[in-house]
């Protein structure tokens, strides 16, 4: 009986410091009372939703339930997929691997035409395009998927890589490269509990990417080297960013991770425009963008939000590209993971092909 009063005691006196749940949730606000809201039932509905989310010890009870569900039945209460030996996968990467999200003929035709028009515009401005395909964790750790999954004959990645190559675009396929060096890599390239490449893997990718900028521009730019590696059994940055969403009581142990300490060399810095999904954040975590890109550089996150070279959010994007956006750019970089390819280029090519006149 005493336990039943714990939520009331906590609400009034707050003797315990409680921790909320992790993950993406729609938080409901306490409803405003009015006669009209009360009479039509909106106040009661809103109050019910708010109290359900804000009852004391709710988060602890959910973690207890999740822990029991995992410990006794091996299930996780999330949209993520639990693979063999506790490897965690985003199901959208599995769908991209087997081709379940392969675009229709009509959409592919539209994307193809927009790309070709965009390449003509960039060529006229003497701006090289570098298209990067990020690693697909479901492909990289295929052996740890819960069920045997074969790569589809038709996937967006295969189609667009072929299209880009045929149109002489500079392509870096980090997905195939990471798989080719997986066995001989001293440290993990992809995390067991994370969504993206490891910070170690990102350092290799960043080095290759900026060397590609040098190659296409035929210039020597500011660069970096690794001075040392800090090994840690505790994952940092995004190397275990799936784990909090599980909302378990007992946190899983991370495998040994490596964190490179970078030494930056001075020099001219390219003015780049990157259009990317969340894989690009690792280059900010490593301070590669801050030290190797011009202060005029920018990253358009999903082509929706504008971040400067220091990762400060500057503005939201509209649905158009102007010549001012491209002025004095040394390179355009597009980085996309397999699930992002179903929105090829994040509408960048569609917007660029319709660019307004000078």
What does 168-209 look like in DSSP terms, one character per residue? T-EEEEHHHHHHHTTTT-SS-SS-SS-SS--HHHHHHHHHHH
Note the helical H segments in 125-183: 137-140, 156-166, 174-180
What's residue 2's pLDDT? 47
SS3 state at 16: coil
The CA distance from 276 to 37, in Å, is 44
The CA-atom distances, in angstroms, between 27 and each of 30, 32, 58, 60, 349 are: 10, 15, 14, 17, 35
The CA-atom distances, in angstroms, between 356 and each of 96, 123, 128, 323, 325 are: 34, 16, 20, 8, 11
What's residue 14's pLDDT? 53
Give the domain ranges of the chain: 84-353
Other Cβ atoms closer than 10 A to 81:
18
Closest CA to 167 of 132, 134, 218, 131: 131
Residues 6+ positions from 218 with CB-CB distance below 8 Å: none
Low-confidence ranges of the chain (pLDDT < 70): 1-58, 60, 356-358
Long-range contacts (CB closer than 8 Å, 24 or more residues apart) made by 326-329:
326/122, 326/125, 326/127, 326/273, 328/271, 328/296, 329/125, 329/127, 329/271, 329/272, 329/273
- Judge whether 247 and 22 are in contact, CB under 8 Å: yes
pTM of the model as a whole: 0.84
Q: What is the pLDDT of residues 106-151, one digit of tens each?
A: 999 999 999 999 999 999 999 999 999 999 999 999 999 999 888 9
SS3 state at 155: coil
- Judge whether 273 and 329 are in contact, CB under 8 Å: yes
What's residue 18's pLDDT? 45
Closest CA to 62 of 244, 249, 193: 249
What's residue 57's pLDDT? 56
The CA distance from 232 to 199, in Å, is 12
The CA distance from 333 to 298, in Å, is 10
The CA distance from 254 to 270, in Å, is 37
Closest CA to 274 of 327, 335, 323, 208: 335
């Amino acid at each position: 009986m005493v336990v039943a009063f714990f939520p009331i005691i906590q609400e009034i006196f707050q003797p315990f410091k409680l921790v909320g749940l992790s993950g993406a949730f729609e938080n409901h606000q306490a409803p405003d009372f009015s006669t009209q809201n009360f009479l039509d039932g909106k106040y009661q509905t809103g109050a019910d939703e708010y109290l359900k989310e804000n009852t004391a010890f709710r988060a602890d009870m959910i973690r207890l339930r999740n822990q029991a569900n995992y410990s006794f039945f091996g299930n996780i209460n999330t949209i993520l997929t639990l693979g063999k030996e506790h490897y965690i996968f985003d199901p959208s990467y599995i769908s991209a691997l087997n081709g379940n999200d392969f675009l229709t003929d009509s959409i592919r035709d539209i994307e193809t035409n927009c790309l070709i028009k965009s390449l003509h515009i960039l060529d006229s401005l003497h701006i090289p395009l570098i298209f990067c395909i990020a690693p697909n964790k479901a492909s990289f750790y295929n052996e740890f998927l819960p069920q045997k999954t074969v790569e589809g004959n038709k996937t967006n990645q295969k189609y667009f890589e072929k299209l880009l190559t045929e149109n002489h675009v500079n392509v870096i396929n980090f997905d195939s490269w990471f798989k080719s060096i997986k066995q001989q890599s001293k440290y993990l390239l992809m995390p067991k509990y994370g969504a993206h490449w490891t910070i170690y893997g990102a350092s290799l990718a960043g080095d290759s990417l900026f060397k590609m900028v040098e190659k296409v521009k035929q210039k020597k730019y500011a660069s970096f080297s690794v001075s040392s590696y800090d090994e840690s059994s505790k994952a940092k940055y995004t190397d275990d960013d799936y784990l909090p969403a599980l909302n378990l009581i007992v946190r899983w142990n991370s495998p040994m991770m490596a964190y490179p300490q970078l030494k930056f060399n001075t020099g001219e810095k390219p003015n780049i425009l990157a259009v990317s999904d969340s894989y690009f954040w690792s280059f900010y975590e490593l301070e590669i963008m801050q030290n190797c890109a011009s202060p005029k550089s920018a990253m358009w996150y999903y082509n929706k939000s504008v971040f400067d070279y220091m990762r400060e959010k500057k503005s939201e994007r509209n649905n158009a590209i102007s010549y001012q956006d491209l002025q004095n750019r040394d390179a355009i970089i597009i980085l996309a993971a397999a699930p992002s390819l179903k929105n090829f280029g994040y509408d960048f090519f569609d917007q660029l092909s319709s660019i307004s006149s000078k």
